[in-house]
Amino acid sequence: MDAATCHAGAGFLRMRIFLFSAGVEATRLSDLERRIRSRLPAVQTVSRLEEITRAVPQGNGERACILFPVVVNAPEAFDRMVSIATEYRDSLFFIFISDDIPASDYKRLVQTGGADWASTQGAPDEIADILARRERDESAEPGDAPRPVTEPVMVAFVPCAGGVGNSTIAIEVGIQLKQAKATRNRRICLVDLDFQNSNICDFLDLEARMQIHEIAGNPERLDTQLFELFISRHNSGLDVLAAPRAKDRPLDLDLATLEALFRMISTRYDLILLDLPVHWFKWTRQLLSAVEAAFVVGRNTIPALRQVAETLQAVRAVDRMPARIDVILNRCEHSLIGGIARRNHVKNLLGEEEVHFLREDNENAIESANTGIPMARRGGKIVKDLAQVVSAVAEAKPVQAAAEGA
């Protein structure tokens, strides 16, 4: 293997990788190159395609990947991208890098068979993921059976009110699952179901990419290529589906659109974490009827505990009650030795409910929000406090499998 062959985390990618620099503003190029080299250190920078074709002659069976920053500001610019990818697809694979790309253009690009796209913000992780997928696809033998798909497990985090930390808890559970030796290889997806005020990607320093309006009212448009464009990939291995914030976008979606989205999700992941919004829609009860476990999230105050009790009652009233329903009380006051304040209030208002107490850790929470680094990676109280929740999520089984094992 020569020095130009790059390692992208998932395995050695047996193709030479080049960064095309011609026409790229110097500051942008410098920043992009620095970030790409942090993940793909042996990438070579070139300014002309001729340099690449000389280094990788056509007809010798060797492939090369070209990282190609572009500014897609006119139809002719995109047409040129498609033309280049088509012309060189037998020997070169292009990853075009830009701030954004319309879904219809992305489809045209992928259909050339010689190109893919990564966002400027998401590089280098999106680039490494594309390369890893290419390696898996090209190493598969003809006639290989597709990777088996297990029955997916869905787990819902249900806020009893706004501001209780529902999204943060869903993120931390997902990251801990991807860090744990026993579950790191599971295919885990976190879905933010607040289509107007999503904030999960902010906490993870990712770009929200699920353009749900592309399929709203027209769900048959959702295919594999469009779905891939919707995914935001965290470097932990956790995939995120979240819509960009838009105050003028309707909060609700029709049931057919959500069904199309979840059909696609269920074929790709075996564990699906749902971050539900505070407001309940016409589809909320149906979605909760399909989950294996639900965690109602609230605070340890008397008004909040009453909201938790009301939310528990609503969750238990859905058509098929989840097999497990627990309570998470977030940002709990505690003593120096770890004792939780006002446990008697919890007992009086929630009775025998299974309750998980998360201690207040304001300093770590603020630092995590400002840096985009989950608290699970920083250590602290939340790792220990969430351990039972993470274990419960990891052990959840599809309803049919759970019934058979009973």
At 165 the pLDDT is 94
Give domain limits for the chain: 16-137, 153-395
Read off the pLDDT of each residue in 161-183 and give the average, rounded to a whole number. Answer: 94
Q: Domain 153-395 is in which class?
A: alpha beta
Q: What is the phi-psi region of residue 165: left when phi exceeds 0, alpha when psi lies from -120 to 50, beta otherwise? A: left
pLDDT digits (tens, 9 = 90+) for 303-351: 999 999 999 999 999 999 999 999 999 988 877 666 788 888 899 999 9
From 2-6, 158-162, 287-291, the region with the lowest mean pLDDT: 2-6
% of residues, the chain, pLDDT over 90? 41
pLDDT digits (tens, 9 = 90+) for 229-260: 899 999 899 999 999 988 777 666 888 889 89
At 296 the pLDDT is 98
Spatial contact of 377 and 364, defined as CB atoms under 8 Å apart: no
- Average pLDDT across the chain, whole number: 84
Hey, do 16-137 and 153-395 end up sharing a CATH topology, with the first three levels equal? yes
Contacts 24+ apart (CB under 8 A), 23-27: 24/69
Compute the distance between CA of residue 355 and CA of residue 155 in angstroms, rounded to an integer: 16
Name the more confident of 14 and 205.
Answer: 205
Beta-bridge partner residues of 192: 275
pLDDT digits (tens, 9 = 90+) for 15-62: 789 999 888 888 989 999 999 998 888 899 998 878 887 777 665 566
Question: Mind spelling out the 3-state secondary structure of the chain?
Answer: CCCCEEECCCCEEEEEEEEECCCCCHHHHHHHHHHHHHHCCCCEEECCHHHHHHHCCCCCCCCEEEEEECCCCCHHHHHHHHHHHHHCCCCEEEEEEECCCCHHHHHHHHHCCCEEEEECCCCCHHHHHHHHHHHHHHHCCCCCCCCCCCCCEEEEEEECCCCCCHHHHHHHHHHHHHHCCCCCCCCEEEEECCCCCCCHHHHHCCCCCCCHHHCCCCHHHCCHHHHHHHCEECCCCCEEECCCCCCCCCCCCCHHHHHHHHHHHHCCCCEEEEECCCCCCCCHHHHHCCCCEEEEEEECCHHHHHHHHHHHHHHHCCCCCCCEEEEEEEEECECCCCCECCHHHHHHHHCCCCEEEEECCHHHHHHHHHHCCCHHHHCCHHHHHCHHHHHHHHHCCCHHHHHHHC
Spatial contact of 67 and 43, defined as CB atoms under 8 Å apart: yes
222: number of Cβ within 10 Å: 19
pLDDT digits (tens, 9 = 90+) for 339-385: 788 888 899 999 999 999 988 888 888 888 888 888 888 777 778 88
pLDDT digits (tens, 9 = 90+) for 194-237: 988 899 999 999 999 998 888 888 888 888 888 988 999 998 99
Write out the two tokens for 193.
């179901």
Q: What backbone torsions phi and psi does residue 183 show, to the nearest 5 degrees?
A: -125, 0
Q: Which CATH superfamily is domain 16-137 in?
A: Response regulator (3.40.50.2300)
